[in-house]
Structure formats: C-alpha cells, structure tokens
A and B are shown apart, each in its own frame.
Chain A
C-alpha cells in the first residue's frame, strides 16, 4: 500500500465528512433552535441535486445549476416550514417523526412523478475537471478538492454568521430561550422560517455538489440523512462545532475503515475471507464508533443542551 493511495483515501474521507457537515449543520441548527427532528432534511438534499441537474441540463452551465439548487432547496424548505413544520414545533417527537416521514413519501413520489424513475447525471464543470498531483506520486481529482474547499468556507462562514452577526445572535438567543426572545419583540416565526430555509439551502448545496460525483436519483437523500443523524448524535445535537467534528470523524472512519479493515484482516486470516468480513465490518464501523461514544457521553461530544 503506497503513501499516495493512503493520502487519496484520507482526502476521500475528508470530502465525505465535509459533505456530511453541510447536511448535518442544517439538521442540528433546526433541532437546536426549533427543537424539531426533521426526517425530510434528506429530501431537501435530493431537491438540490435534482434542481442542479435539471438546470445544468437545460442551460449547459453547472454554475447556474448550483444557484438553482440553493434557490430550489431554500424555497422548498421555506414552503415546507410555513405549510407543515410550523405546526409541529409544539408537538412531541413522535408526531414530528411521523409528519416528516410523510413528507419524505410525498417528496420522493412527487420527484419521481416529475423526473421519472431513471437517474439523472450531472457533469463536473470544465473549470474543475482534471487532477492535482499528490505527494507520493498520485493524482487527485480537482473537483473533490474543491468540495473540501467549499466545506471549509461554509464552516468558516457559519462560524462568523452565528458568532458575529445580528441574525446569529438571534439564532443563539432562540436556542437558549425562545419565549424570552419573542417577548423582546423579535419576530420568532419569521426567524424560524429563515433558519429552516437556510438549513435547507445548505442541504441542497450538498446535494448539488455530490450530484456530480454520483447519479442524481430518488432515494439518494435517505442514506445521507441517516449518516447525518449519526454525525449530530456523535457531535451533540444542536452544536455546529459538534456537527463539524462529528462529520469529519464519520467521513474519515467510514472511508478509512473500508480501505484499511480488509487489509488488516488479511494479515490474520485467508485473503478470500478477509475481503467480505472486512467489508461487512467496515460498513458497521461508524455505528460501533457512535455506540462507543454514546456509552461514555450519552449526549454527544459537544452537547448544546446538556
């Protein structure tokens, strides 16, 4: 196993982690501010991917598609919040699970109705095609590096937004005491809609970016959603910092586990067995890590609401 391969896998893990962060950031923000568990967050990710693929196919420009994905996911999120989600804040978690599960069914079938059952494909924009040389003599796709860069920018942007702006101040106030901030004359209803649409736009951005790496299809949202759940459970629900660290951890553990476990097992057992056993174990690895972390810290690494 060469150094270049190891670096490549490490970067792949980082890229997966960064994508998970984009999804998990919105999810954890929505939970932190509104106390809502949103299963349909994965559907917003799917909406972003479909919007990007459709607009890119129609106009020929990936960048217009990217703008469309942000707009479509934010609009879908705002609509969802005003029509349905708003009525769920005061309900218990079971009602929230059920209603947002219903939203998944509606979004998935609705998308299938609009776009058909066949996957769409999205090309990597010409500007980002090509590869970068790695130390150790490998090549790494520029596009994946760009994704990592976008993730870092979003993380910094979020940090500044939450920590340094008036909107961020209101979001933090909403997290700690929503009655009080409403009593201080801040329109909490529109704040909720803004936060929800913002989280949706981040998920949509992730969908569009990943859409160029995989195929864009109905059902792509759920695996991403469940990984994002693992991320925010590890990081502590409501904490953006936790989401970032959890996402990188999950991305790296998952990718490196799939890469290294079969090789490690091959040292102990025959290679024909090591492959399947390693693959099976690797697919369970992040959940085992999650269970271990929870066994010691039941509310995650950086819980916002201890």
Chain B
C-alpha cells in the first residue's frame, strides 16, 4: 500500500508541471493559468489540512486567512502604485517576497486571538465560531470603503519577483509551484515531527496528552496559527493570479470550498489537498463548460464522497492510509 501511495503522489506532483509545460509548448496559456489555480488552491488547503487533517480542528473560517492574504497583496500594491505610505510611514510594495512575508505575519497575528477564543470550545461550537469570525472579517471588508468595499480591489499589474517576469503565466506558475512544494514539504516534516505526534495525540486523546505534560490547547493553537499562515500565503498568490481581490475570497462559501478540497482529495493525507484541488478545478472547468448549474452536480458528487468514498481520491487510488 505504501508503495502505491508513493507512486500516486509522485504522479500527482508531476501532473501540474507536465500540464503547464505542455501548455507552454502548444501555446495555450489558459491551461498554465488553470494549473496555477490548482497549485494555489492546493496550497491553501495544505494549510487548512494542518488544522483539519492533523489536528482534527474543523475550521469553517479559513477563508478569512485566504482573503486577508489576498488583501495584503492588493493593498500593498495599491499603496505602492499611488506612492502613499500604508501606515506609520511604511511604504507599499510590489515585491512578492515582502508581500508574502506580510501576508504570513498578518494572518498569524489575526489567527492568534481567533484561535485563543475558538479553541476554548470544541466540536460544533468550534465550527460555528470560526465561521462567525470569518463572517466578521467579511462584513468588515464589505463595509470598509477605503479598499473597494463590496466591489473589491484590482491590481494594476501582477506583483514582481526578483529575476522573473511574473506577468507571463509560466514563470508565475513556477513561483507558485515551488511554494506549493515547500508547503507540502513543511506539512510532511510537521507530520513526522514530535510536534506532529503531539497534535495527533491532541486529536485522539487530549487527556492522555495532558497527562504527559504537554498542553493540548497550546499545541492546537500553534497548529491553528501555522495553518492560517500557509492559507494566507496562498491567498496572496491567488490575488496575484487574478490581479483582483474581493470580499468573495473571505466568504463562508470559500471556507466551505477549502474543506471540500481536502475531503475530495483525502483527509489528513499529504497529497490530499493537491488531488482535491485538481479534481475540483477540473469539475469546475469541465462541468462549468457544459452547464451553468455545475454546482448542483458538485453537490451530488460531494454527497457521494461523504457516503461512499470517505478516503477521497487518494483513498480510491492508493487505499487506506498507513496509519492514523
């Protein structure tokens, strides 16, 4: 089984660059953008998977971090374009690494108080509270007029990465894909680490974990914040891909989609988010081409996954997980 999962994983990783390269050679930039979209959504879901898959924390509010990351990219670029300082005399920027860092830091700072309140609860309460906090940020973005309010914010051009022409689809895909690999590597190392073991224990038996002298609350909080940071990074990339950020990135629907990506692919599997994102974008593209009502069919597929294929796509292809 283990060998089969490795084979599936290797194929999945190779799939995106293969699609992007093929598209580059036949001159169909659209498919490169499609592959980039898959990679970004996968990265966002990798972030959520730390909380949801490893920690068993069903956060229904990760769109908050996805959208915040997006707004960081949009707001910093707008200020740089208008040559106005953002706050405290700090200038805006169109430099991607700086934007990423800012998005990661901001999401960590926002996730900390949200986690402090939400993690005092569990189960259904946790689901609803994370949802409510995300809604709070969503309504704030809608009613705060400075950055476009309900209409969202357009980026005049894609932000830059030193030494690459990110305005072209392929170099941008490479940037995103490398970050996705880094996110997957981090997830893998985390899962194998002592911290990962403690997080797993916090999910399975918090009382026992506490008895060994490790606080489940602290472990969960770190996981939640880390998870928010990665999803925030993905949000910044998403804003740059679309050169647009709007409150819809913060909406509860987005939170639901992120969970769906993980479940479609396979919960708490390393490559589940990537498999799920690929499947989701393919559905959107293939069904969306056939009918405007593709979400109806997505709903039916989701029901089928919940009732008949609980391991998701990776579960179907590679069988049951090795442990957990």
Contact = CB atoms under 8 A, between A and B. Distances in A.
Contact of A229 (B120, B131, B299, B302): B131
Contact of B143 (A102, A105, A280, A290): A280
B129 interface: yes
Contacts of B140: 280, 283-284
A139 to B, nearest CB: 29
B252 A222 contact: yes
Interface in B94-142: 117, 120-121, 123-125, 127-129, 131-133, 135-136, 139-140, 142
Interface residues of B, number: 42
Interface in B293-310: 293, 295-296, 298-300, 302-303, 305-307, 310
B60 interface: yes
B299 to A, nearest CB: 3
B144 interface: yes
Interface residues of A, number: 45
Nearest to B263: A98
B299 A98 contact: no
A233 interface: yes
Interface in A84-138: 84, 87-88, 91, 93-95, 97-99, 101-106, 108-110, 112-113
B260 interface: yes
Given A31-B124, A93-B124, A295-B120, A106 B300 contact: yes
Contacts of A95: 306, 310
Contacts of B143: 276, 279-280, 282-283
B298 to A, nearest CB: 6
B296 A233 contact: no
Interface string A190-230: 00000000000000000000000000000000100010011
B132 A226 contact: yes
B296 A295 contact: no
A191 B310 CA distance: 28
A295 B113 CA distance: 11
B139 A283 contact: yes
B58 interface: yes
A237 interface: yes
Given A226-B132, A284-B140, A93 B123 contact: yes
Interface in B213-272: 252-253, 256, 259-260, 263, 267
A229 B128 contact: yes
B296 A109 contact: yes
B302 A102 contact: yes
Contacts of A287: 132-133, 135-136
Contact of A98 (B124, B139, B306): B306
Interface in B16-69: 52, 58, 60
Given A283-B142, A294-B121, A106 B133 contact: no
Interface string A1-42: 000000000000000000000000000000100000100000
A80 to B, nearest CB: 11
B171 interface: no
B36 to A, nearest CB: 25
A300 B124 CA distance: 12
Contacts of A98: 259-260, 263, 302, 305-306
Nearest to B52: A94
| Best-buried of B125, B131, B260, B300 by chain A (most CB within 10 Å) | B125
16 contacts: A37-B127, A95-B306, A101-B259, A105-B295, A105-B298, A106-B296, A109-B293, A222-B252, A230-B132, A276-B144, A276-B145, A280-B140, A280-B144, A283-B142, A287-B135, A299-B121
Interface of A: 31, 37, 84, 87-88, 91, 93-95, 97-99, 101-106, 108-110, 112-113, 222, 226, 229-230, 232-233, 237, 276, 279-280, 282-284, 287-288, 290-291, 294-295, 298-300
5 interchain residue pairs of minimum CB distance? A105-B299, A287-B136, A102-B302, A109-B296, A106-B299
